[in-house]
Amino acid sequence: MKKVILLLTVLALVLGLSGCVKADLPDSAKGSSVTADSQAEAVALGDLEYADSLKINFAMGNNARTMTYQKSTPLKLPDGTVVSQGDLKPTWQFIEKALGFKIEDVTVQDQKPKEMVEIAAATGFDQATVFGGGGSNIASFLMNYGAQGYFINLKDYMDYMPDLKAYLEKNPSVAKAITAHDGGIYHLPYIAEIGNYARVYNARTDWITSLLDSEDVLESESNTLNVAYEGYWNRHSSNVIDLQNAAAKGGVLAQADALSVLKDYIAQTYPDLARPSDLYVGLGAQYDIDELVALWRVVELSPNTLSKVSTGKVVPGAEISPYFVRKSKYREDVLRMLNYFDGQKVHGSDTYTSRLVVNEKGEMIYTYADDEFLSKVEYVKQWFDEGLLHSEFADREVNTDEFRKSMYFADDTEGQKQFGFMTFDWIASTTAGSDKINSILPPVTTVSKAGVNEFIHYIENTRAIKSDGWSISAAADEKSRNAALALFNYMFTPEGSDVQVYSIPDGRKAGDTYKGSDGNMYPEFDQWMFDAAGEYKNGDVSGFLRDFMGSLLSVGYQKEIGFEMQYTSENGLKAWKLYNDAKVLTNSYGAENDYFRMMPPLISLKEQEVAKVETTAIGGEGLVEKMFLYIKGADGAVGSAAELGELYKESGIDTYLDVYKGAYDRMMAGN
């Protein structure tokens, strides 16, 4: 058996290299040497015995994303080492050497996380030491089995994991979010780049400037739409939707009328703008949701002009979608627009199923069943009725296409007829796909329930603690357990954090750092990394790191944003700067105002609480499907959004909320 000494002095030597971890170090670990107490602790840890190998069962449901290299084409590393199918990926080979014991990946390589847990539970999780995965809300299983005694309580071993301990002490919100109902911590989650924006609004800004700033490219347009949306704000002396609706003849709005009304309105309401498009584009953007819908209408009615802007010629039969989602399974992104009706809450975290929130009174709300939310769903239906939303955005069971490819990235494709204007998506991947796409600020809104009565830029979606991660089996022998604890702690050291985010040091410039658009310094990739990503993964750096190098997996660690900024396009870097400079307000775990506080990735329930929840019919997607059928005006849909509220009541929403409110309060109190 081998012994591994945890070198705590590394903390002091590399503070400047890892932005996320360095901020969480305790004062005693700062400086050029460790304290006497930490020296004593290091000696105690150094006396621990570790197994020769550590068995890990980490399921992703995708054999390209596991710790083992599964590509038929070998990978040649900068030092000439060749990684072949069946080998550990380079990141995990590096971790082996750093820790001094072997890592044995015993995962069924394409097994789904839920299936893995169910099979492992049948033998008491005794076939490996570490179990985990990404997807299937696996943290809920790990928490549940942990509370039953199948996984060790990590709280009992914090002295074995000083770096993790320091991180959780510095980030109590994370500690609370992963605490089970009995007060134990049984898993470590993949913690995304918390404190950073997640997805943002992207648009074809050249469409805005072409329509509003001159008449040079305007083509004759014959399309019309039947007005349905009646507007929301009384922000100015006149409302642009009221004006456009008044210009509609018999309720039918033509392009020329929609455009002239919008341009006249901007000139009168915002006389100090250098260009009309400045209402929507750039740091000075100040449009509200009504002004956005007015623009959507013009976009919808201008297929000849806009297809010409995008392809160089008018495309007969061009189909314009003012707003679309990346895939139909992301259809809830349309609902995020409700944030701009005085800050209407939609999701408590970055997942679509996170519908529990706490309101300004500290009350638990299930947003999709809330009367105020449902009243605003009527606006979404009105937009769909006007043709402002992509017609196929909600057909989740039928359509699996990635609309972003056809709407944004296919302008030069022969026979292309579909063009999208605006969507909600990641900065890096969206701006990388086409230099025609730019990020724009979100609409301005008040959030009066949170005491914000001035118009601000706000975005609900932000990086979050994920319901992915890993646990240590209680069935493991002492030496295997010690090895697992060493691995778990390693991911929260500067070296471990860097290798998980940026991969092996040979793929980085020695000693060099990269200045992100947020002003922070991060490890810098070597040109080899970009060249290899181009050769093996068509330039997708993120995919290359996961599929070939073994970094960025959904193990328990804190990811940092420097990785993403480093491979972001010029347009993408401008987007980061735009959102940071505008200080767009977003939610956070540590928000003082309840209204802006993010919900934990899951709320741990006791057995009797689970039984109560199972008496309700809230957890499935049946009622959500009914909402989208109503929005689309499908046959057999409910007659109004308010009827959905009644269905939720019949399905047991009150019981559901009572259970989760009690469990949430327990979690926030620290059990």
| Angular region, 51: left φ>0, alpha ψ -120 to 50, beta rest | beta
User: With contact defined as beta carbons under 8 Å apart, do 200 and 265 qualify?
Assistant: no
Rounded alpha-carbon distances, angstroms, from residue 79 to 523, 532, 545, 597: 19, 13, 17, 47
Predicted pLDDT at 34: 27
Nearest Cα to Cα of residue 219 among 312, 295, 321, 319 = 312
Instruction: Give the C-alpha separation, 625 to 396, whole Å.
Output: 9
Nearest Cα to Cα of residue 507 among 475, 474, 489, 533 = 533
- Name the stretches of the chain with pLDDT < 50: 1-43
One DSSP character per residue, 347-408 reads: -SSSSTT--EEE-TTS-EEEGGG-HHHHHHHHHHHHHHHTT-B-TTTT-TTT----HHHHHH
Helix (H, G, I), strand (E, B) or coil at 452: strand
Instruction: Give the C-alpha separation, 91 to 93, whole Å.
Output: 6
Instruction: Give the C-alpha separation, 153 to 473, whole Å.
Output: 10
Average predicted confidence (pLDDT) for the chain: 91
Domains of the chain, with CATH numbers?
50-192+468-508+521-567 (3.40.190.10), 199-344+400-459 (no CATH)
Helix (H, G, I), strand (E, B) or coil at 238: coil
Instruction: Give the C-alpha separation, 314 to 612, whole Å.
Output: 60
Task: Dig out the tokens for 493 from the structure.
Answer: 């050291």
Predicted pLDDT at 44: 63
Predicted pLDDT at 13: 26
Instruction: Give the C-alpha separation, 314 to 468, whole Å.
Output: 47
Nearest Cα to Cα of residue 480 among 28, 10, 191, 49 = 49
* Residue 449: Cβ-neighbour burial (10 angstroms; 0-12, 13-18, 19+): middle
Predicted pLDDT at 326: 95
Task: Dig out the tokens for 163 from the structure.
Answer: 């770096």
Which residues make Cβ contacts (< 8 Å) with residue 87, sequence separation at least 6?
68, 69, 93
Nearest Cα to Cα of residue 319 among 417, 206, 210 = 417
pTM here? 0.90
User: With contact defined as beta carbons under 8 Å apart, do 155 and 188 qualify?
Assistant: no
Helix orientation angle between 371-385 and 622-632, rounded to the nearest 10 degrees:
40
Interstrand relation of 364-366 and 418-426 (parallel, antiparallel or unpaired): unpaired
Which residues make Cβ contacts (< 8 Å) with residue 425, sequence separation at least 6?
199, 200, 202, 326, 404
Q: How far is CA 267 from the centre of its chain?
A: 38
pLDDT digits (tens, 9 = 90+) for 250-307: 999 999 999 999 999 999 999 999 999 999 999 999 999 999 999 999 999 999 999 9
Helix (H, G, I), strand (E, B) or coil at 603: coil
